[in-house]
Amino acid sequence: MNIEAKISTIISEECKLTDKALIQTYIMNRRDAILSEHINNVDQIHEPGYAGFKYYTTKLTPKNRNHSGLIYAKTKEELETKIIAYYLQVKDEACLTVRKALVSALGGDEYSFGKTPRRTLQRFDKNLSDLSQVKVSQLTEADIRKALDKLVSTKPTEKEFNETVSSLNKLADYCQYEHIEAINIREVIAIYRKVRLTGKHIWKVSTKQTKNLAFTRAEASKIVRYALRHPSYKAFSVAILITTGLRAGELLGLEIDDVYLSEGYLWIHQSEDTKTYELLDYVKENKSREVYLSDEALTILKSCLEYRLRDASNSPFLLLNPCSSDRKMHLRAVDDFMREVIHTDVLGYSKEREARSPHDCRRTYASLEHLSGTPINVIMDQLGHSNVGQTWEYIKNVVEASERRRQLKGGRLIFQEVTSQEPHKDAVNAV
């Protein structure tokens, strides 16, 4: 799709009209408005001969251009198209490389990236550098397969492979959003996984994966005490998940007005989509509910609310994150905190051991409440489940493991003296 067609498509989507004549009128008026605003507020369109230039020229915002803030064109129509494309942020795929497109997809300025986009770009540069200078419009299935084959030949871990491929997925989403004609990258990756990796056991389990993903009582205690001693939004978010059993999206959508400390409950009626960050005015299974707070949960919520009210932000949400673009806490920040701080610094585990996720805090709450004697139907209501079976899936591994350990008698090899010979004594002696 050329630039003019992309401009027409974007403006057509912007106007939300159905009549073709009205759409064309809107497109022309929108183009004229952009050109008029540029000429009045930035610079005139200068014809050939102005200041010795051989082409049509005008000035754009210098800080976003590396050639003295000037753009050139052989015709006036071409220059006007470039001006409109600049203001609508339309990319010219004829000169857009894969790496430049990925940088734009991650935020636009790699020198001011946060930790997550910077890490994504670093993985791309390390593992898929062969694709960096390929034009997006010229990217082929063979190019992607070749780059992935090279990555697989280095025997990456499954996590490294998936996180590297995620950079290509971001590129695919960006091309679709920006109306850039490119190969279906997601489809190529899906076929590669199905054909190239099926039966290829390139990832072997090197460490034991824990079946029970809930924190133990001792681990949960360390995490909650850490939040009280080292108050921060991220630390409080994990402690609240452990002591209330909220879903991560429900916690991220929690507003200050939804916290009723005097009555001792939280009003859960909205949640955040943890993938798109969109605020939803409902919760899972449409079960808006009151989540009542234990004494421990009340202590955590009081401390968190005091910490939040010291912040001058006008945001209605309980948990903030100064590092995010909208200054609001999102799932990625909580997940990174659990893996990088809770797992290693607070609990003292090595990076080879599997780290817990935010949803495992919900399993922890359910398990600890059940082991403390709370009726399972009460836990079900707190978690917002539709039936007891859902709740039991959260706690059965912990309960079954505890019960099995309690019933083991041991072989009386150390703590009780063997007083009688076993029945097969003669057979052993004979051997």
**Residues in Cβ contact with 336 at an 8 Å cutoff, skipping those fewer than 6 apart:** 115, 116
The residue among 43, 59, 87 that closes a domain is 87
Give the span between the Cα atoms of 333 and 213, in whole angstroms. 20
Averaged pLDDT, 105-128: 83
Same domain, yes or no: 147 and 265:
no
The answer to whether the CB of 272 falls within 8 A of the CB of 223 is: no
Residue 23 host element (H or E): helix 20-41
Residue 424 lies in a domain: no
To which residue do tokens 């939803």 refer?
280
Q: What are 132-191's pLDDT values in tens digits?
A: 888 888 888 889 988 988 888 888 888 888 888 888 988 888 787 666 778 888 888 888
Averaged pLDDT, 211-233: 89
Same domain, yes or no: 77 and 176:
no
Same domain, yes or no: 283 and 362:
yes
**Residues in Cβ contact with 151 at an 8 Å cutoff, skipping those fewer than 6 apart:** 127, 128, 161, 164
The answer to whether the CB of 279 falls within 8 A of the CB of 326 is: no
Q: What are the tokens at 295?
A: 């004494």
Going by C-alpha positions, the residue among 103, 105, 65, 66 that lies closest to residue 83 is: 65
Q: What are the tokens at 247?
A: 């879903």
Q: How confident is the model at residue 430 (pLDDT cuts 50, 70, 90)?
A: very low
pLDDT at residue 46, rounded to an integer? 85
Same domain, yes or no: 148 and 8:
no
| DSSP bridge partners of 135 | 97
Task: Give the three-class secondary structure for 47.
Answer: coil
Give the span between the Cα atoms of 93 and 137, in whole angstroms. 6
Same domain, yes or no: 164 and 263:
no
Look at 253 and 286; give whichever has higher pLDDT. Answer: 253
Same domain, yes or no: 118 and 266:
no
Same domain, yes or no: 248 and 327:
yes
Lowest mean pLDDT of 34-38, 84-88, 339-343, name the range. Answer: 84-88
Going by C-alpha positions, the residue among 116, 101, 107, 114 that lies closest to residue 174 is: 101
pLDDT at residue 230, rounded to an integer? 94
| DSSP bridge partners of 73 | 56
**pLDDT at residue 89 is higher than 70:** no
Going by C-alpha positions, the residue among 394, 399, 396, 253 that lies closest to residue 316 is: 253
To which residue do tokens 């049509």 refer?
56
Residue 203 lies in a domain: no
**pLDDT at residue 387 is higher than 90:** no
The answer to whether the CB of 331 falls within 8 A of the CB of 339 is: no
Residue 212 lies in a domain: no
Give the span between the Cα atoms of 390 and 376, in whole angstroms. 11
Averaged pLDDT, 410-428: 57
Q: What are the tokens at 96?
A: 């857009």
Same domain, yes or no: 190 and 110:
yes
For the whole model, what pTM was predicted?
0.51
pLDDT at residue 211, rounded to an integer? 55
**pLDDT at residue 13 is higher than 50:** yes
The residue among 87, 118, 136 that closes a domain is 87
Backbone angles phi, psi at 166, to 5 degrees: -60, -30
Residue 416 lies in a domain: no
**CATH number, residue 267:** 1.10.443.10
Lowest mean pLDDT of 101-105, 135-139, 262-266, 425-429, name the range. Answer: 425-429
Same domain, yes or no: 150 and 251:
no
| DSSP at 208 | P
The residue among 87, 108, 136 that closes a domain is 87
Give the span between the Cα atoms of 393 and 212, in whole angstroms. 11
Q: What are 178-191's pLDDT values in tens digits?
A: 667 788 888 888 88
Amino acid symbol at 308: R
Counting the structural domains of the chain, the total is 3
The range of the structural domain enclosing residue 279 comes to: 217-407
Going by C-alpha positions, the residue among 319, 260, 318, 325 that lies closest to residue 293 is: 260
| DSSP at 212 | -
Averaged pLDDT, 280-300: 90
Lowest mean pLDDT of 80-84, 105-109, 182-186, 418-422, name the range. Answer: 418-422
Residue 430 lies in a domain: no
Same domain, yes or no: 109 and 82:
no
pLDDT at residue 206, rounded to an integer? 45
Same domain, yes or no: 244 and 171:
no
Q: Which of 54-63, 190-199, 345-354 has the highest mean pLDDT?
A: 345-354
Give the span between the Cα atoms of 206 and 193, in whole angstroms. 22
Residue 358 lies in a domain: yes
Residue 201 lies in a domain: no
- State how far Cα 91 lies from the chain centre: 26
Residue 72 host element (H or E): strand 70-73
Same domain, yes or no: 366 and 289:
yes
pLDDT at residue 198, rounded to an integer? 59
User: Quick one: the chain helix, strand, coil %, rounded to 5?
Assistant: 55, 5, 35
Amino acid symbol at 153: S
Residue 262 lies in a domain: yes
